[in-house]
Structures are given as C-alpha cells and as structure tokens.
Amino acid sequence: MVLAASDRFYPTTEQAELLHRTFGCVRYVWNKALAERTRRYKDEGKSTSYVDTAKWLTAWKKDAESEFLREVSNVALQQTLRAQQVAFNNFFAKRARFPRFKSRKKSRKSATFQNNAFTFRDGKLTLAKTSEPLSIVWHRPLPESAQPSTVTVSCDSAGRWFVSLLVEETITPTPSTGAVVGIDAGLDHLLTLSTGEKIANPRHERRDRRKLAKAQKTLSRKARGSQNRARARLGVARIHARIADRRRDNLHKVTTRLVRENQAIAIEDLTVRNMLGNHSLARAISDAAWSELRSMLEYKTGWYGRHLLLVDRWFPSSKLCSTPGCSYRNDKMPLNVRSWTCPRCGTVHDRDVNAAKNICAAGLAEQ
C-alpha cells in the first residue's frame, strides 16, 4: 500500500529561495500551458496531450523571455504538466470542473519531485539543485529500507514548510471485534453513537473567534501592498492554521478509536456542500468538518480491514422509532425537538441516540 508521510521541515535561506523560485516556475508553466491549450483548441480545434506540453516546455526554456525556467529542477515542471493532464482527463470524464489558472497570492505553493530529482539516504532527503539535506522533523520514523517514490514540498499560508513522501508500507489489519456502531453527526455533539455515547464538539473555531476577529480587523486597516499588511495577513493565517491543526488532531483521535473498537461503522451519506447553503448553520457545520471526518473513516477502515456502511441521505433516521418491532414514523421532526415519546410503544427517545440506532440498523440492512 502506498502511503503519504507528511512532516514539517525548516529550510535554510538558500533552500527557501530556491523553493520559492521553483513554486513560481511551476505556477508559470501551469498557466502558460493552460493558456496555450485553451487557445489551441479554440482557434485550431486541436486537443493537447502531455507529450505536446512537454515539447512546449523544452522550447520555453530556450526562449530568452523564459530562460529562468532553467534555474529550477526540470522534473518539478514536468510534474505540473502531468498534473494538468490529469486535471483535463477528470474534466472530460465529468469528475471535475475545467482547470483554472493559478494565482500568485491565493494558490497553493507546492512542487512535486520524482525519485530522479532527489536522494534519500539514512533518513536524509536532498532535493535536486540543493547542496544540503532538508532539516525535517519526523513525527514518526519511516519503515526500514523505505525508498520514497515521490516527494512534494509545500509552503502554507502561515509560512510553514511541509514535505510529503510517498512510500510503500504494509499495514496489518487489526483483529476482528464483531462490534457494529451507528453514528449520527451533529452540532451540539460532534458525534452520537448508537451505544448512547455522545462525543463532545470542541468548536475549535469558536474558541479562537475573538482572537481571529481582532487579527482580521488589524489586517483590514493596513494599506494594500505594504509590508505591514503582509505581516498582518500572516498573523491571520497562523490563527487559521492553529484552528485547523487542532480540529484535524481531534478528528484523527476520534476516528482512530472508532475504527479500532468496531468492525463496521454506519454513517449517513451527507452532502455537506449543499448543507452549507444554510447560512445560519454554515459556520458551525464547517467547524465540525463532517467531510474530513468521513474521509478519515473511509481510508482508515480500508487500512485496518473494517467496513464503512453508508446510509442514504434521505433516510428518516430522526423520525423513526428505533424500538425493535415498532418502526413508528413521525410526519415532522423540527430541529428544536431534542427528545420525543413514541405514541405507539411509549418509548422516550433522545433524538440523536435514536437516529444513531436507526442508522446502525439501516447500514446493516443494506449489506
């Protein structure tokens, strides 16, 4: 199994300057190739392949106007053309929208190197055109004799540097537990389990909302294009990064525990993007990060030999009575109703626990 190990590193001044130039060249090649592909199809009616764009890159490096492309690794430039070809393939297959131009300020700063553009020996990674290995802080050791096939270097909006290595790793499935749990995602509680347990919603964004508002107010007062504005923007980005890191750490802990304790996990197949259209709840839904939660459950259940059961988003989990043999269904169930009594069997239900039980039963029924 190919896994990505992502770690922070601290570049020297020379390395940082080279990588920033590489990011700029990657963006330049992407935009120039995208513009030429679009023009070629519009004016000449011709499609473009990766081989065509690779020939263009060779010509651009010989052109006096763009000869600066020679200063960085050619592999990183070729990789961005391959990524653009994948983006177009996804667009034509209707899996994604049309590729967009990259912005200097807003687009992600990253560059990808294949194994012919770096060396990895004794846990030290050295990129092409650099004289020293990167100073990486490993959060966990790589498998012995691991040889990365691809390395991606990036710098986020908070100025932090990361390196992601694709390595081949074998994950042993954990012993079967036989337990099955249903999960109801919410806002008052992050998750409610069919066992009756409720996992608290940390509300990471709310905790730093006042600090974030103050930093954004300071940013709004700075003159555009000034160094003061750049520093203020960095301050806002660092607060956002802190919030995202805490949220991701909590989700990792919760999902890892659920996967280890249960053989099968049932969840609703929610369309979070559509739910964000509710402007009164959009901020809270974004902070709960339901999409990231589901993504973690998907790949972790695959790793450890578990099963993720998806229940249809229109399944009336909150309206049904979960008592065995009852299955009474309410016509309406407003969000402000947190508990209710079944008129048929007389059972008093906690709204979220009842929904989690129904999701668990529906997930098993669809298997």
Residues marked active site are found at: 184, 268, 352
Distance CA(337)–CA(318), nearest Å, equals 10
CB 197 within 8 A of CB 179: no
- Rounded distance between C-alpha atoms, residue 63 and residue 78, angstroms: 17
Residues 6+ apart with CB under 8 A from 171: 1, 3, 303, 304
Strands 136-137 and 2-9, by their bridges, are: antiparallel
Query: How far apart (Å, rounded) are the C-alpha atoms in residues 188 and 281?
Result: 12
Query: 268 and 313 in contact (C-beta within 8 Å)?
Result: yes
268 φψ region: left (φ > 0), alpha (ψ -120 to 50), beta (else): beta
Query: Is the CB of residue 158 less than 8 Å from the CB of residue 240?
Result: yes
